[in-house]
Amino acid sequence: MKRVFLALLLLALPLAAQEEKKAEAKPIATVQKLFVLKYADPQSVRNLLQVFHASIDANRDMRVLAVDATPETMSAIEDAIKRLDVPSAAPTNIDLTVYMVVGHEAESSAGSVPVPKELESVVTQLKSAFAFKSYSLLDVLALRTRTGQEANSSSSGGALQAGVGGTHPVLTQLRLGSTSVDGDGPTIHINKLNANIRVPVSTGSGWEYQGLGLGADVDIKEGQKVVIGRLGISNDALFLVMTAKILQ
């Protein structure tokens, strides 16, 4: 009897293995759903929902999330979206202004542009910290962005003297990864700000472009003027001064 039972058991094992393989091969049923967001940024919400390990596509232009997930996961995602898509999550428009100010070793520089009145307090602080004898405005760049989004700006409006070669334009590119806003102040958080600047410098027999770079994360209160970096230009220095304004 025991031998018969053992024989039956041995015959059943391959069948059980086959049934297990069939069960494993059976695709998991999923459901698809579109979510139209009223307030939150679709891409930011998608990044947060990645913890659910579902297939999620975001369309910022249409403010839509396309989700493919199991019924149980879909229920959890739907609940999360209800919590995230609230008025306080609405993107905020922000105006950023970057002033490029040059500190000169000489008393004055031919053809230099005076620093505007709104930066006089910044220049006073710079004079107390550095030994430069004069300051001038090189260029101004403006960026308008929204919280959670990238922004970039470029300019060739400024110019510098490069030896006997005369003046040549300064080529500037600014890029930031994203911005967010805290209610305290309020404070604007700028993530992954990058500045790539090409300035003309004298080579003795002529001139050439020198590349300067700056990367930083910046916290700035609305209306505040913050020096976000100093870059060397021969015996002079280039200071980047930023202000931020939240648009209602």
130 and 46 together in one domain? no
pLDDT tens digits, one per residue of 139-189: 999 999 988 888 999 999 999 888 666 889 999 999 999 888 886 678 999
In a domain, 4, yes or no: no
Tell me which residue range forms the domain holding 49. Answer: 25-89
Q: Determine the pLDDT at residue 143.
A: 92
69, 125: one domain = no
Q: How far is it, in rounded angstroms, from Cα 126 to Cα 129?
A: 5
* pLDDT for 6: 42
| pLDDT band at 109; cut points 50, 70, 90 | low
Q: Are residues 138 and 223 in the same domain?
A: yes
Total count of domains within the chain: 2
Q: Which of 36, 68, 89 is the last residue of a domain?
A: 89
Q: Tell whether 177 and 59 lie within a shared domain.
A: no
- Residue 209 within a domain: yes
Domain's final residue, options 35, 65, 89? 89
Q: Are 189 and 211 in contact (CB under 8 A)?
A: no
Q: Which two tokens stand for residue 129?
A: 């910290």
Which CATH number is 85's domain given? 3.30.1370.120
The number of residues making up the chain comes to: 248
